[in-house]
Amino acid sequence: MKKILVIDDEEWLREMVQMALRQRGYTVVQAENGAVGIDKARKELPDLILCDVNMEKVDGYLTLSSLRSEPGTAAIPFILMTGLADNAGMRHGMELGADDYLPKPFTINALYAAVEARLKKAQMLREDSERRLADLRDAISMALPHELRTPLNGILAYGEIFQADAATLKPAEIAEMGQVICDSGRRLERLVENFLIYAQLELLGADQQRVTVLRSKQTLLPARLVETHAGKQAEQYNRAADLEFNLTSVPVPMSEEYLGKVVDELTQNAFKFSSAGSKIRVSLEETDNAVVLTVADAGVGCTSSRGLAWALVLRGNSPNCTAAG
């Protein structure tokens, strides 16, 4: 049985809404103002909140803002009720995280429609989140053991040699084996980081509010970031001379952390699968409706004249990655 919290300073309206919703089988909890509503939302954790906008001291906007800032209540569907449903107020409410508006006065049928629509959407999001979680578990269980085994084999094999033959090993041999262990450890660290990011993004996909927050982040000086991250990858492969840039510094709708990770992965792949002396070209360009990050190389499986180019296309707030041979 779904639980609905009704926050309004008019007792007759709370009673009317409670009576109507109980007829549909809902459990209803009342709060006479925003402060009481915030406290009851924390304790009751309702499936939906109906909240009046115009209340003294703690109005509907403050109530919404407070509950959206707390992890335990942030995802609860929230409908604002108001007799002043002007565009500015509605926009402000939506920016704070409101799911819907119910203009006063409203009919019982309008109340039912708003409540059922929000609860249905919340259920769909939960089911989508569960599906993503199941898919994530399957993907990790299939891919992670194989990916982890390769660097672990190197670490374990040389570790066993150190343990069994430490007294007979020459300094040069120890240094060489130590380098392999370090390289394998770094690869293992990178794999774990990538899987954690993958898991985070998969789970975020079912939470529209967190997706919106993620998409609102920007990298204001991407050219400097791209050059720094690509340069570090070039240094690891001793190929700084092979790196070429064509960078336009235009704001990119992606956080610095994730953009840096994308640059690391694309440039590392380019250096790994191309020969020393061949050029790795990294460009960041603005088109009419997109910002395009391209990493091109003449790697394995590609002719020297064509090469391979990976392009990250950022249109508005939606990044897409494509490859062209």
Confidence of residue 305 (pLDDT cuts 50, 70, 90): very low
Q: What CATH number is given for 3-106 in this structure?
A: 3.40.50.2300
**CATH topology for 126-213?**
Helix Hairpins (1.10.287)
For the chain, domain boundaries: 3-106, 126-213, 217-324
Residue 28: what are its φ and ψ, rounded to 5°? -120, 130
Specify the pLDDT at position 97. 79
Taking Cα atoms as reference points, which of 148, 150, 139 lies closest to residue 199? 139
Over residues 27-44, the mean pLDDT reads: 94
Half-sphere exposure of 47 (CA within 13 A, CB side): 18
**Is a pLDDT exceeding 70 seen at residue 65?**
yes
- Tokens representing residue 309 in the block: 């180019």
Amino acid of residue 246: N
**Is a pLDDT exceeding 50 seen at residue 250?**
yes
Q: Which of 163-177, 183-197, 269-283 has the lowest mean pLDDT?
A: 183-197
Predicted confidence (pLDDT) per residue in 198-243, tens digit: 776 666 665 666 666 666 678 888 999 999 999 999 998 999 999 9
**Is a pLDDT exceeding 60 seen at residue 262?**
yes
Highest mean pLDDT among 9-23, 125-139, 261-275, 293-307: 9-23
What proportion of the chain, given as a percentage, has pLDDT over 70?
80
Taking Cα atoms as reference points, which of 271, 258, 246, 250 lies closest to residue 319? 258
* Residue given tokens 């792949």 in the structure block: 269
Using DSSP bridges, classify how beta strands 318-324 and 308-315 pair: parallel, antiparallel or unpaired. Answer: antiparallel
What's the N-to-C CA distance of the chain in angstroms?
56
Highest mean pLDDT among 86-90, 131-135, 155-159: 155-159
**Is a pLDDT exceeding 50 seen at residue 139?**
yes
Highest mean pLDDT among 33-42, 139-148, 283-292: 33-42
Specify the pLDDT at position 44. 93
Beta strands in the chain (DSSP E): 3-7, 27-31, 48-52, 78-82, 100-103, 243-247, 280-286, 291-297, 308-315, 318-324
**Is a pLDDT exceeding 80 seen at residue 56?**
yes
Going by CATH, does the domain composed of 217-324 fall within 3.40.50.300? no
- Tokens representing residue 212 in the block: 């919106």
Specify the pLDDT at position 324. 46
**Is a pLDDT exceeding 90 seen at residue 87?**
no
Assess contact for 92 and 61: CB atoms under 8 A: yes
Specify the pLDDT at position 121. 87
* pTM for the predicted model, two decimal places: 0.48
Task: Tally Cβ neighbours within 10 Å of residue 155.
Answer: 17
Task: Tally Cβ neighbours within 10 Å of residue 118.
Answer: 22
